[in-house]
Amino acid sequence: MLDACAELLDEIGYEALSTTRIAERAGVAIGSVYQFFPDKKAIAQALTRRNVELFAARVGARFMSEELGGWWDAVDAIIDEYVEMHRTVPGFRSLHFADVLDLHLLDTVADNNTVIAGRLRAMLLAEYGLADSAELDLGLSVIAEAGDAVLKLAFRHDPAGSPAVVEEAKKLVRGYLSSLLTTAARRA
């Protein structure tokens, strides 16, 4: 059902999506859809959660399999994975972690980008031993918001994502994070 939802999102968009269309595409009775999901929003939420988990797993796998020189390479890997998933994973580009549907889709308290920033923070702390601090949390929240906005811009007029805009997103995130880490190091 989630795969059917993803395909339909890419083909017809969220507004035209319906539980009936999802059931038809999945080859299941409408009752089967309602057994697991009360409405199309719940299906979109489940798809978004799956996409976030896939994103985190793919980034984690890159961290494990690639020789990353430092956090700046990790930033590039994270952005590259987002761009690759945007291009290749059905439903990913339509939902952008579903911020247009519900800012609290992934968590009832934290907005979606805060949840994403927290996941990335955990990966960066585990892999690169960055010092945990309130400044790091705030900085990663700013980075998630700014990076998300610039990456959306990259895909707004170019379905493959403008390479020049993607590169600017990397520069923005690396520059801000570098400044944040430099300030934190001076305070320590």
Residue 185 neighbours by CB under 8 Å, 6+ apart? none
Domains and their CATH numbers in the chain: 45-187 (1.10.357.10)
Q: According to the model, what pLDDT value does residue 89 have?
A: 92
**107 — phi, psi (to 5°)?**
-155, 140
> Given this model, what pLDDT does residue 104 score?
46
Distance CA 165, CA 185 (A): 30
Q: Specify the residue for token string 């805060």.
A: 114
Ordered mean pLDDT values, 10 residues apiece, the chain (188 residues): 94 91 97 95 88 85 85 87 92 63 48 68 70 79 86 90 95 88 66
* Rounded Cα gap, residues 43 and 148, in angstroms: 23
Where do we find the tokens 């980008």? 113
What CA–CA distance (Å, rounded) separates 88 from 82?
10
Model confidence, pTM: 0.79
Per the CB < 8 A criterion, the answer to whether 78 and 140 are in contact is no
